[in-house]
Amino acid sequence: MLMFAYTIIRSRRTTVQISVLPDRTIVVRAPLFAPRQKIDEIVAGKERWIQKKISTRTTAVVLPVRHAYVPGETVMYLGKPYILRIGNADAKPGHEGGTPADKNGSPVYRDGNHLIVCPRNRTVQAVQRTVETWLRNQARMVFSEILDECWKRFSERYPDAVQPELHLRTMKSRWGSLSQGTLRPPHMTLNTLLIGTEPYCIKQVVYHELCHIVHPDHSRAFYEILASFVPDWKETKKRTEQIFSLR
């Protein structure tokens, strides 16, 4: 059994390369069609080397690794790991040719511990675009629901506050931000990559940004308000960092 979680980046290479990043994330670069079992065996064989590398690394801000989104890769969604599989957009249940597209017409859907991708064009680039578009759409839907839920509670305490407009961005060093102007509603920007974390982790980020409406800085008063909404915000923040390190 593997002692480590790692991210696979597949490409048209012929060898397997293992790297331990400064944030202790383990990244394995492998050939496009190398079997996952074979990769696991190679990683297991490097266990001592990996442990030594991890022990020399210091904790740092986690920078997400860009995904290749190829079959066998692990994709995090709402805190759960899913193995990516390619399905057939035109197949029908019971027919050969791969898993059929979702009955609701979505080119991406979950099936057990698999994320099934059924693009019309099966090129690597098309699969990547399909997954990224699906994740972004899911992020907008999930984040909007969480913002509305958090806002209902926040506005009860601060009735004069104005609900922020939600914006999404893929950011390398932060999970969210809040900007306020005198002539427009506040803008809350959330990192699209947060769709990989559990909902309660997303809530912590949303409450963090909402509290900036009252205190723009990170003063003691700011954290007192945050703790009143999310008492375990420190533990939740650590959990978010753990999830990001698996991406």
Splitting the chain (247 residues) into consecutive groups of 10 residues, what average pLDDT does each group show? Answer: 74 89 77 90 88 62 60 87 82 41 70 90 85 94 97 95 93 85 82 93 96 90 95 89 61
Non-local (6+) Cβ contacts of 226 within 8 A are 207, 208, 211, 233
Rounded-to-integer distance, Cα 243 and Cα 247, Å: 7
Helix (H) or strand (E) holding 236: helix 233-245
Rounded-to-integer distance, Cα 157 and Cα 37, Å: 53
Rounded-to-integer distance, Cα 193 and Cα 7, Å: 15
Residue ranges of the domains in the chain?
A: 7-133, 137-245
> In this structure, which CATH number among 3.30.300.30, 3.10.150.10, 3.30.2010.10, 3.20.20.70 belongs to the domain 137-245?
3.30.2010.10
Predicted local confidence at residue 244, as pLDDT? 65
Predicted local confidence at residue 174, as pLDDT? 84
Predicted local confidence at residue 2, as pLDDT? 60
Rounded-to-integer distance, Cα 198 and Cα 219, Å: 27
Predicted local confidence at residue 69, as pLDDT? 81
Greatest CA span in the chain, whole angstroms? 62
pTM of structure: 0.68
